[in-house]
């Protein structure tokens, strides 16, 4: 009985001792070609590549094993992308990368941070231990907010002018020929017109209507033998 209790105490001590030691090593971000970016500020999300290290070869490196990767907001409360068992370190190498975060987590590219300054947090954790701080390494980076797309103004159509009405060309009204002769006394009138009874008559240019009628009536009475 005493041996069992002693074994339980030793096991508990070993577990608590193991959990008390944080994960050694470090992570850092670069461009996918390994170039260091000043201030960890990137232009695009997929420009951010994750590396395991640290850079200093004399420092403690990451232990062999399989790791999960995540991207969150700076507080670590909002998950923006997760990749499980996506990094493997073997043979005491202690390093990995550079690997674009867009190739390590989903969705790709990862969601946009709600942080107004465009700050993100990258996580590397032992498999199954995501967001357990003792079993993870983190590094913050920043992505410049994308410029909003330019708005192309929609042209406003000009009001359509009503069709111009076609005005037919003016037709010249012929001017009637004005006769200059009076009916001849006792004979046939000149054949320049007709009266209402079919008898030839003329209009006198510049004369009054009474002069016309007087001459016509005199001629008409004479031709009919009426005096």
Q: Tens digits of per-residue pLDDT, 104-128?
A: 999 999 999 999 999 999 999 999 9
Domain ranges of the chain: 22-143, 179-227
Q: CA-CA distance, 122 to 113, in Å (whole number)?
A: 12
pTM: 0.59
- pLDDT value of residue 54: 78
Flag whether pLDDT at 50 surpasses 90: yes
- pLDDT value of residue 59: 76
Q: Name the CATH architecture for the domain at 22-143.
A: Sandwich (2.60)
119: closest CA among 154, 179, 73, 81? Answer: 73
As a dihedral over the C-alpha atoms of residue 209, residue 210, residue 214, residue 216, rounded to 10 degrees, the angle is: 10
Q: What is the pLDDT of residues 37-47, one digit of tens each?
A: 888 999 999 99
Q: CA-CA distance, 95 to 88, in Å (whole number)?
A: 9
Q: What is the mean predicted confidence (pLDDT) over 49-63?
A: 85
Q: What is the mean pLDDT of the chain?
A: 77
């Amino acid at each position: 009985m005493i041996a069992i209790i002693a074994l339980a105490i030793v096991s508990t001590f070993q577990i608590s001792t193991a959990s008390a030691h944080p994960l050694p090593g470090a992570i850092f971000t670069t461009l996918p070609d390994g170039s260091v970016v000043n201030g960890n500020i990137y232009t695009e999300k997929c420009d951010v590549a994750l590396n395991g290290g640290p850079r200093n070869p004399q420092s403690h490196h990451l232990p062999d094993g399989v790791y999960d990767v995540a991207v969150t907001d700076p507080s670590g409360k909002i998950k923006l992308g997760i990749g499980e068992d996506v990094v493997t370190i073997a043979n005491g190498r202690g390093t990995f990368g550079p690997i674009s975060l867009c190739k390590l987590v989903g969705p790709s590219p990862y969601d946009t941070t709600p942080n107004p300054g465009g700050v993100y947090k990258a996580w590397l954790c032992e498999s199954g231990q995501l967001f357990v701080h003792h079993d993870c390494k983190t590094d913050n980076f920043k992505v410049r907010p994308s410029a909003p797309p330019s708005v192309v103004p929609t042209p406003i159509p000009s009001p359509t002018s009503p069709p111009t009405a076609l005005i037919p060309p003016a037709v010249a009204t012929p001017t009637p020929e004005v006769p200059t002769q009076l009916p001849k006394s006792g004979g046939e009138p000149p054949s320049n017109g007709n009266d209402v009874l079919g008898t030839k008559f003329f209009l006198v240019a510049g004369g009054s209507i009474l002069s016309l009628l007087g001459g016509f009536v005199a001629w008409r009475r004479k031709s009919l033998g009426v005096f």
